Structure formats: structure tokens, C-alpha cells
Amino acid sequence: MPHPAPSTDVIIVAIDEASLARYGRWPWSRSLDAELISRVCQANPKVIGVDIAFTEQGGDPAANQALRDAIAACGKVVLPVLIETSRDEGQVRELPPIPELAQASAGLGRIGVVLDPDGIARSINLWEGIGAPVWPLMAQTMLTIAKTPITSSPQPKSTLSHPYQLVAQDNRLLDFIGPAGSVPTLSAQAVLANSAPLTALTHRIVLIGATAAGMGDFVSTPATTQGAPMAGVEVIANSLISMEHNQLKQPLPIAWVLALTGILALIPLLWLPRFMPLTGLIASILWFMVLLITTALFPFITGYYFSPTGILVAALSAYPLWSWRRLEVARKHLNNELLRLLPYQLASVHTPNEIKPLNFEQRIEVIQEAQARMQQLQAERDEMLDFISHDIRVPLANAAQQLASGELNDLNRSRLAVQLKRGHELAQNYLSLSRALAAKPDSFPEIELNSMLEQAIDALYDLAQAQQVTLVRRLPTHDIWIKGDFSLLERATINLISNAVSFTPAGGQVVITLTQSTQAVAWCVQDTGPGVPDDVLPRLFQRFGRGTSHRAGSTGLGLYFVRTVVEKHQGTVHAINTEQGAKFSISLPLQNGESITNQAN
């Protein structure tokens, strides 16, 4: 932040466009440089700083000698030391003036500024060097020779801890007095031509350097206006003025920066948990404005500076992060509710992996779906209670009544056995259905389908023999593996085969077929009975539906159990009437062809 220029005795003798127009293009002969230094020295300045690099011998020994004599005769000339990176090798090099000029000078000082990542020059290092920070800033050398009281930085110990690296120490923030052109300037051609009074340089700190466009080093600074960069010699002048008036700002120690950033970043937690979203947003905006003003004034109040980026980013991020946290808590609650509701067969999601890609609104929609599903389950619960109180209670009550009568002749024993068998069958079907509803597809192991079908067919062999029905197996010769619940799929298959045997007349046959494609595996149970009535087919797999089954005395649970098991395996089951009889088919999809492995026998 530029400030009004303090009273200063710093002045620039500028090699500007007028000077180049009169004395020719740059670089000038060193004899002309010598004449310029001599003319400035005649005005009896406090010190002269030359922002011109004399790092090479040049082709004119006489001009070098003239320049050396002018510097030595003046006795108060400070020459620059350059530290730059080689373009060819990328190596950092120190480039002091040639030895005869360095010996004749009153002192040497390093020139250069620190460029931030955005390319803006905001600070300087008081000491730098290759391997050790041995070179002071030119401004510091000049003020020492001018005997100007300053709070200088002591020279660090020359320890070569990094012999091939640039080592810097004592970084300071510059306080620019204004944009380019704010430092008093006198044209070099006016000094050489005696067209300006040299008294303007008397007892002043004089800098000689280039300000003409296209020569010298120009950098962007915080004081840059309208895209006009600042000449390097004027940056040195600002360094002199800042140092002379003790306006260089020191960096705040990193421990203090971290502590301050952490404390200020946590302060929004005092109100964010307590305020509603709109109030919290307003409080966060006001807090950001307070931080912006405080961090801008901090260097001028304390003399220390630090980058406010972390604090300001924390202030800007506090509200959205806290809002995200609130949404995350809500999302986790929705996730937990969805995971808890997965066993209830939601239409939108079936597995935990299907929950992850859902956005917030979609999760709310699934929860709404779950509420509707819960209402449906409540209705089913009432229906189930009716089933338990009637279908299971009636045969058990009849059996208890017969036992209580005390008449256990052969006829009563036969009736009692039928009632108990009926009650046992109903209870077993209900338990099997409950187990199917509670099954978790993610935990299904790999099973072999041929073995499952063979076991289901063998379980009904005696029933088929008694009904004089032939069971025909059309199964592949190789193993077919799939992830599933062996006992549930076996029970479902037994239900289908049992129904088919029951409705096949004596002498008929039930054909069990297993096929596999690249997308699915399917098995069919085909009987040679009368088929299913057309009005029953649409309601065949419903739960507890009276009249939904074409089998007398059916509980309405067997085929609903089959549908439940198949849906748990993400498959489909359907029934059709053919010319031969009823055909029930179960189809289970293959997951990208990875759920099944064929192994030759």
C-alpha cells in the first residue's frame, strides 16, 4: 500500500530517453559513465549508488581506467553486485564488478527484489549470497557510507551450509512511497551538459540508473498504476527511503502466523452452531470485512507483516464448510435410514453401493418412497396377523379340540395328523418366507446350480413316484456357478416342482431344464397338467391372496416365497400356459459376466 512520500534526500540521476537521444544508445562508453560520476561527485552528495553492472572488462582499457579513477577520486561510490541464474546451465552466480572497479569503490551492495508467485515485487532480502548470505543490500551499504542512522540488520555468520544455492536472510516488506515517478529525478543529460544546477544533488543520496523504456530492469509493484512497471533504480530508491525512515516491515514469525491463523479461523465456530443459516451468513460476511480491514492495517500498527491469505480463505470458507457439515450430518442420517430400510425392498435402491451416487434430493425422494413402503408393510403386517390368527390358529385349535375330546380312534388320529401337518406346513412356509425377506444379497456365497437342482429334484422323487409322474432332467454337463443362497433357491425350486407334480395327471411328466447365456442363467419347470386359469395368472405370485392360487387349500405363501427369493437374487419369475401345461421360469442375471464360472467336469 503506497503512502505519501516522506521528506527524503534521495534523488535519481536518470539515464532517460532524453539522455539516450543526446549521447547515443546504450551501453555508453565507460568514459562517459566516468564523466557522469565525476559531475555528480562535484555536487558533494552524501553517497552515490550506481545501478549499472560493470561485471565485464569491456573492450576499452582506457575507458575502464577513467571510470576507475573517477570512482576512486570521489570516494563515496557504491557499485552493485548481481546475483542471477545462468541461462545455459541454470546455475546461480554472483557477479560483482570487475576487480579494479570494486577496489576503487567505497562499498558493494546487492541489487534485486523478491518476486512473489504472482510476479509482484513486494519485499527485499537484506542479505543474500551463494552458500552464505554475505552480500548486503545496496541501500544498506549506501546508508552506512552516508552515515545515516538506521536500524540495520547485522551480517549473518558466513557458514557454507549450501555451497551451490542462493541463501537469503532477513526478508522485509517494502513500503512504496507511490507509483513510478514518485522519487525526485534529474536527467543525466542535464547533469552532463551543465544545464541543471548541481546544488540539487548537494548533501543528497544520489542513485544513478536507467529509467528509459527498453533498458534496465522493470518490475511490477503494489504501487504500479495503469500497467506501468517501476524501474529497478526507483525500486532501490524506495528501499533507501523505507530503510532511512525505518518503514521496512518484518515478517511475522511462522509460529505466530500459524497461531493467529488458527485462532481467527476458529472464531466463527462461536456463532455458526448457534445461528440459523441466514443469520450465520450475515455474521460470516461481517467477520470477513473485519478481518480484511485488520490484516490491511496490521503491518502499519505492529511493524510486522504476514500473508493474510490463510485467514481470509478460512473466513470465506467457514460458512460453506459449516453448511457442508450440516448437510453431511443430514446425509449420514439419510444414509443410515436408507441402509436400515434396504431389507424392505425399496424400488429405487437395492444395495448400499446404489446409495453412494445419489444426490441429496434423490436421497430425500428415496426416503419418501420408503415412507410409502413402510405404510404398505404396515398393511401387510395387519394382513399377516390376520393370517396367523386364522390360517395357523384354526388347524391348531381343531387339533387341540380333538385332543381334549379324548376320542383318539383311528379316524380321529388321521384327522389330528392332517390338522397338525397343516399347521406345521403353514408355520414352516411362514418361517421360510421370513428368512427369504431377511436375506442379504451382499453376503451370498458362490453355489453350483446343477447340484442345487439335482438336490431339489431328488427331494421330490418319492412324491412323483406316488403320483406316477416322471421327473425329466435336462441339465448341462458342466458346472454353473453363481452367487446366491443355496437353501433358499432349493426351497423355491421345490415349491415349483411340487406344484407341477401335484397338477400333472398320472402317467405325465415334469421337465426341469437349466440353460445359460452370456447375460443370464435360467431354469424352467414344465408340467403336463391343465395349466393355470387365465384369471389367476396375473395374481399368481401375490402374498396371502385368497383365490390367487389354482391349488385347493393353498396358503398363498408358496409362490410368493418363490418371487421373494428370486427378487433377492435380482432375477425374475413368471408363469405361462403352453400346449403341454403350465411352465414356470426363473431367470437370474449375470453381473457383467463375472458372477458365473463354467468349469468342465
pLDDT (mean) for 545-556: 46
- The CA dihedral of 338, 343, 348, 351, to the nearest 10 degrees, is 80
Q: Say what the pLDDT of residue 412 is.
A: 65
Average pLDDT along the chain: 80
pLDDT at 389: 57
The predicted model scores a pTM of 0.50
- Of 489, 450, 445, nearest to 595 (Cα)? 445
Burial class (CB within 10 angstroms; exposed 0-12, middle 13-18, buried 19+) of 567: middle
Residue with cell 490463510: 310
Cβ-contact 119, 220 below 8 angstroms? yes
The C-alpha cell 433357491 sits at 489
Span between the terminal Cα atoms of the chain, in Å: 85
- Please report which confidence band the pLDDT of residue 423 belongs to, taking 50, 70 and 90 as the band edges: low
CA 196 vs. chain centroid, Å, equals 64
Q: Are 167 and 128 in contact (CB under 8 A)?
A: yes
Contact residues for 577 (Cβ-Cβ < 8 A; gap 6+): 531, 532, 534, 537, 583
pLDDT digits (tens, 9 = 90+) for 118-129: 788 888 888 888
> Using 50, 70 and 90 to split pLDDT, how confident is the model at 113?
confident
Q: Is the pLDDT of residue 48 over 60?
A: yes
Q: For 454-501, write each residue's pLDDT tens digit.
A: 999 998 999 899 899 999 999 998 889 998 989 889 988 998 998 899
| Whether pLDDT at 162 is above 80 | no
Determine the pLDDT at residue 597.
Answer: 45
CA distance 169 to 305: 16
Cell numbers linked to 177: 512511497
CATH class of 439-599: alpha beta
Average pLDDT over residues 395-423: 66
pLDDT confidence of 551, banded at 50, 70, 90? very low
State how far the Cα of 385 lies from the Cα of 379, in Å rounded to an integer. Answer: 10
Q: Which residues sit opposite 207 in a β-bridge?
A: 12, 49
List the grid coordinates of 249: 516491515
**What does the DSSP 8-state code read for residue 556?**
S
Whether 161 has a pLDDT exceeding 60, the answer reads no
Domain locations in the chain as residue ranges: 10-248, 251-335, 439-599
Beta strands in 4-142 (DSSP E): 10-15, 47-50, 77-85, 92-95, 107-110, 114-115, 121-130, 135-136
> Cα(514)–Cα(598) distance, rounded to whole angstroms?
14
Cis before 156 (ω within 30): no
